[in-house]
Amino acid sequence: MSMEKKETMADYESELEKSFRKIKEGDMIEGIVIGVSEDEVILDLKYYTQGVIKGEDVSGDPNFSILNNIREGDSIEAMVVSLDDGHGNIRLSRKEASMKKGWEMLKEYMEEEKRFSVKVNGKVKGGVVTYVEGIRGFIPASHIGLYYVEDLDSYVGKSLDVQVIDVDEEKKRLVLSAKALAKEREQEERNHRISMMVPGTNMEGIVESMMPYGAFIKLKNGLSGLVHISQMSMKRIGSPSEVVKIGDKVKVKVLNTNNNKISLSMKALEEASETEEDSGQTFQYKSEGGATLSLGDLISKLNIQ
């Protein structure tokens, strides 16, 4: 006896409902890719007719390739451009759908200060351009890295981690920045190098700037540290300029690296030097006749019976 299930009208209810639904221009609809060529993508919309996306309506990104990026079976969301493309199909635009969603997404990215990666597509006056969800974005030369970038060609084709700093859908303006993230990476690297420094280490450096509270020393490892005025001399001083001037080469001792700040001391080396001198002094005996003998010489000359 056959146990095959008999199909009923209820089994087709969902499909029938979709096929008779009203579709109008501007609607966002989803379909399954059933055909791909260099010039167009054909979608099954579960409707009485198919959807067609022409090549120019697939993506706003000039690097997007239909044959490389779209496969049969893919699910694609697109916007209805026309109910009849001249051949009885519904004309759709994936580009418009992506941009509509993209602008909303980018607004959220800006609010959340979200970080994401983009590929630089080319250079223009004052910066470089990239694409995010098919939307053209601009990265000013002053926001490509920590400092203003003159050689823009060297960044074409590279990937950058960026944040949205300005987004305006009405004016079709999207401005991105890699500067803040580059600054964070530099700070992380600097903090790591500071953490590797050992308190008590003697180093050399150049006085690069002075403040009323002390002098900043550029060390040979490229890092900078502060010699507080209280650590500049064993003598009481009122200003760092009494001890050093900008450009002076100085020797310092690393006191600590608390809170990723390098505290240095010149006084510690001065104290250490004085201690060494004190411990190395030879006791001198001065005779009444003016001859001076060391204690060692005096003992050696005594004839102890």
What pLDDT, in 10s, does the model give residues 99-120?
Answer: 888 999 999 999 999 999 999 9
How far apart CA 95 and CA 118 sit, in angstroms, is 18
Per-residue pLDDT band for 136 (boundaries 50, 70, 90) equals: very high
In terms of DSSP H, where are the helices of 196-266? Answer: none
Residue predicted with more confidence, 276 or 36: 36
Q: What mean pLDDT is predicted for residues 84-91?
A: 90
154 backbone dihedrals φ, ψ, rounded to 5°:
-70, -15
Amino acid type, 254 = V
The mean pLDDT value of the chain amounts to 86
Q: By percentage, how much of the chain surpasses pLDDT 90?
A: 67
Q: What mean pLDDT is predicted for residues 289-298?
A: 49
274 backbone dihedrals φ, ψ, rounded to 5°:
-70, -40
Per-residue pLDDT band for 274 (boundaries 50, 70, 90) equals: confident
How far apart CA 194 and CA 108 sit, in angstroms, is 36
* Predicted pLDDT of residue 297: 55
Evaluate if residue 92 carries a pLDDT over 70: yes
Evaluate if residue 139 carries a pLDDT over 50: yes
Question: Of 51-55, 101-105, 268-272, which gets the smallest average pLDDT?
Answer: 268-272
Evaluate if residue 161 carries a pLDDT over 80: yes
Extract the tokens encoding 281. Answer: 């002094």
* Predicted pLDDT of residue 305: 42
According to DSSP, the residues that pair with 85 across neighbouring strands are none
Per-residue pLDDT band for 19 (boundaries 50, 70, 90) equals: low
Q: What mean pLDDT is predicted for residues 184-213?
A: 94
Evaluate if residue 303 carries a pLDDT over 60: no
Evaluate if residue 301 carries a pLDDT over 80: no
